[in-house]
């Protein structure tokens, strides 16, 4: 089965852009392409074209991993497996994105959420190595989380939606109503990049570290992390995304989460080593597409 | 290995009382005993005496399962495996409760949280049958949850502490400060039986169904359930405990949780069948001790 020459394909399908790559691991990426997420027809066709082209250079791929934005159906025994579920994103509701790939390539294809893909990338080559249970949270335009739990990617009923938990919202301190079309002031509604921009009237990238936006942001993220620590009991929480990877934010989140938990979880990992408990991803923005390669490898093992 | 005559021992070690049983399943309990939780020395000695006595009647037990109140250390590779961790309960901090059993019985002994035990009971003989991922939540004197996830009991870093998540607390509607010694107004601090009694000046058992206590209680529980649905993505949530099993409360919790999720989790289980998504345990108050028997069976399979 094992063949040292075999190459994998990976797709990180984001709501804003798609990243495709061919290779075997972080130090062996043979080809990469990025393109804007437009319609499912056009975007999926670009992905198919990219891999067909690579196959003409490198030979047949061994498998493909597709880590896609959601909500989506990741359950292989469901009739809508591989579909995007109803989403506010125009044109993508109920799109059978996996079906497009399966029609074009007669090889194993794995399908999961973008954040489960990123978690798998960190598991294989980053801050998740050797762990049994951890969370990969992305805080960027939106907020979502992948969960690796007791050595498996968590799906459960459908897949977690870590960004949509209800949060304490003190309107006397933060009168902003939130931006989530479903919940208003859930975690994503209060703390996503979109929320930051709408609350302060300018993008987060233009707000300096001493701006009050950031203590508020650290506060919301920390409440969410404490919630995850109590519900999932992760051995580590990895925070990625454009907001989540801001260097001045991480120490505030570590400090605030420590304060909220207040000694209740009696593990040295939290009590004595919070700097290694809440971390940024090792693979940075590449967690996603490398995770898709890891999904591809996993697909092959399972077939 | 399989022997139809073999009997198992189970201990549900609660903070208020211990329940011990010998048998094989719900319809085959050969002996049972209950006693108050006093000091670890006295209480564990009573458990040992009970099983020694049963062995003199029925012969040697095949294995014992011990589902204990926490916080505790359930990690077999840890030096403090089987100990209760620092707890406000006098005398129990750092007690090596598993050690007492292991010194007395030379058979496989499984050790886990009381709520993971109850989850295992429901998995084997109750509302968890056939599921891959579900939560057993108890709302009684305290609040805690066991999690069965992707076909395994979740431990992670230590074990979940589902009762201690931060919750939205609108002090204009509910000025009560909460009773949690660590967090004040976390979920347990606001919604446990102790909190209900302190807020209203009388035990919950004396408050009629139309009392405003119960809509408030349903509101807090529902926020917590929505949080669990987003983080763990369970296929079902089972609510036990003295408060959790109040018949007039369940429909309010189902309705309110449905409203909070507001269609975001696009699964028929929630959208169309919330009555079977949030349920009371099939085994009622026996989930715990039967779960301990199930732990005992599992210990044997793993040895």
Quick check: A39 and A15 in contact, CB under 8 A? Answer: no
pLDDT (0 to 100) of residue A303: 62
- B interface test, pick of A156, A181, A223, A274 with most B CB neighbours within 10 Å: A156
Judged by CB atoms closer than 8 Å, whether chains meet at A264 and B164 is answered as yes
pLDDT (0 to 100) of residue A66: 98
Ordered strands of the A152-153 beta sheet: A152-153, A143-149, A134-139, A236-240, A278-279
- How do strand A63-68 and strand A8-13 relate by DSSP bridges? parallel
- Chain A residues with beta carbon closer than 8 angstroms to that of B150: 149-150, 152-156
Name the residue in chain B with its Cα closest to that of A262: B182
- Among B9, B264, B177, B214, which residue's Cα sits nearest to residue A159? B264
Q: Is A166 on the interface with B (CB under 8 A)?
A: yes
pLDDT (0 to 100) of residue B1: 41
pLDDT (0 to 100) of residue A2: 45
Judged by CB atoms closer than 8 Å, whether chains meet at B161 and A233 is answered as yes
Mean pLDDT along residues B99-114: 97
Name the residue in chain B with its Cα closest to that of A157: B235
Interatomic CA distance for residues B46 and B17, integer angstroms = 12
> Hey, which residues 78-137 in chain B have their CB within 8 Å of chain A?
85-86, 132-133
Dihedral angle sign, alpha carbons of residues A284, A288, A289, A295: positive
pLDDT > 90? residue A208 = yes
Name the residue in chain B with its Cα closest to that of A229: B160
Quick check: A16 and A6 in contact, CB under 8 A? Answer: no
* Average of per-residue pLDDT values in chain B: 95
Partners of residue A167 on adjacent β-strands:
none
The CA distance from B246 to the nearest CA of chain A, in Å, is 24
**What ipTM was estimated for this complex?**
0.95
End-to-end CA distance of chain B: 10
The CA distance from A50 to the nearest CA of chain B, in Å, is 32
Interatomic CA distance for residues B165 and A73, integer angstroms = 28
A-B Cβ pairs (cutoff 8 Å, strict): 153
Q: Is B264 on the interface with A (CB under 8 A)?
A: yes
Cβ count near A181 (within 10 Å):
10
Using alpha carbons, list the distances in angstroms from residue B171 to A169, A170, B51, B168, B174: 12, 10, 50, 9, 5
End-to-end CA distance of chain A: 10
Interatomic CA distance for residues B166 and B189, integer angstroms = 9
What are the tens digits of pLDDT across the range A78-115? 999 999 998 888 999 999 999 999 999 999 999 999 99
- B interface test, pick of A88, A148, A164, A273 with most B CB neighbours within 10 Å: A164
Ordered DSSP codes for B152-219:
EE--TTS---GGG-B----TTT------BTTTBSBHHHHHSHHHHHHHHSS-GGGS-TTSHHHHHHHH
- Chain B residues with beta carbon closer than 8 angstroms to that of A74: none
Interatomic CA distance for residues A241 and B35, integer angstroms = 53
- Chain A residues with beta carbon closer than 8 angstroms to that of B154: 133, 149-150, 232-233
Q: Is B185 on the interface with A (CB under 8 A)?
A: no
Phi/psi of residue A72, nearest 5 degrees: -145, 170
| Residue A27: both structure tokens together | 């130090």
pLDDT > 50? residue A1 = no
Confidence of residue B210 (pLDDT cuts 50, 70, 90): very high
Considering only the C-alpha atoms of chain A, give the largest distance between any 2 of them, rounded to a whole number of Å: 62
pLDDT (0 to 100) of residue A4: 58
- Selecting from B231, B235, B262 the residue whose C-beta is nearest the C-beta of A227 gives B231
Mean pLDDT along residues A52-60: 97
Q: pTM score, two decimals? A: 0.95
Q: Is B248 on the interface with A (CB under 8 A)?
A: no
Judged by CB atoms closer than 8 Å, whether chains meet at B230 and A161 is answered as yes
Q: Is A274 on the interface with B (CB under 8 A)?
A: no
What are the tens digits of pLDDT across the range B255-301? 999 999 999 999 999 999 999 999 999 998 899 999 999 999 998 88
Q: What is the DSSP letter of B232?
A: H
SS3 state of residue A30: strand
pLDDT (0 to 100) of residue B249: 98
- Selecting from B147, B152, B267 the residue whose C-beta is nearest the C-beta of A158 gives B267
Mean pLDDT along residues A235-247: 97
From the number of C-beta atoms within 10 Å of its C-beta (0-12, 13-18, 19+), residue B4 rates as exposed
Mean pLDDT along residues B197-206: 97
What are the tens digits of pLDDT across the range B37-89? 999 999 999 999 999 999 999 999 999 999 999 899 999 999 999 999 988 88
Number of residues written out for chain B: 303
Mean pLDDT along residues B186-202: 98
- B interface test, pick of A151, A157, A181 with most B CB neighbours within 10 Å: A157
């Amino acid at each position: 089965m094992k063949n040292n020459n075999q190459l994998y394909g990976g797709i990180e399908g984001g709501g804003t852009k798609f990243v495709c790559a061919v290779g075997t691991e972080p130090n062996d990426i043979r080809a990469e392409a990025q393109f804007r997420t437009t319609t499912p027809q056009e975007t999926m066709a670009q992905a198919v074209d990219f891999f067909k082209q690579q196959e003409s250079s490198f030979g047949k791929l061994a498998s493909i991993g597709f880590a896609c934005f959601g909500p989506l159906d990741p359950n292989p025994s469901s009739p809508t497996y591989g579909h995007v579920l109803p989403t506010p994103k125009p044109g993508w509701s109920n799109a059978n994105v996996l079906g497009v790939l399966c029609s074009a390539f007669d090889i194993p294809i794995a399908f999961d959420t973008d954040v489960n893909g990123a978690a798998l990338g960190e598991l294989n080559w980053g801050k998740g190595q050797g762990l049994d249970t951890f969370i990969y949270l992305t805080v960027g335009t939106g907020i979502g989380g992948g969960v690796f739990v007791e050595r498996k990617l968590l799906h459960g009923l459908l897949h977690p939606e870590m960004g949509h938990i209800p949060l304490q919202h003190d309107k006397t301190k933060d009168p902003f109503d939130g931006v989530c079309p479903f919940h208003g002031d859930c975690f994503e509604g209060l703390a996503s990049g979109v929320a930051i921009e709408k609350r302060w009237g300018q993008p987060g990238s233009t707000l300096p570290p001493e701006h009050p936006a950031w203590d508020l942001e650290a506060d919301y993220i920390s409440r969410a992390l404490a919630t995850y620590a109590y519900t999932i009991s992760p051995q580590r929480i990895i925070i990625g995304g454009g907001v989540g990877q801001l260097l001045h934010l991480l120490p505030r989140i570590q400090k605030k989460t420590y304060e909220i938990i207040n000694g209740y979880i009696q593990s040295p990992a939290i009590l004595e080593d919070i700097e290694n408990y809440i971390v940024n991803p090792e693979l940075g923005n590449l967690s996603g597409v490398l995770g898709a390669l890891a999904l591809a490898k996993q697909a092959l093992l399972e077939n």
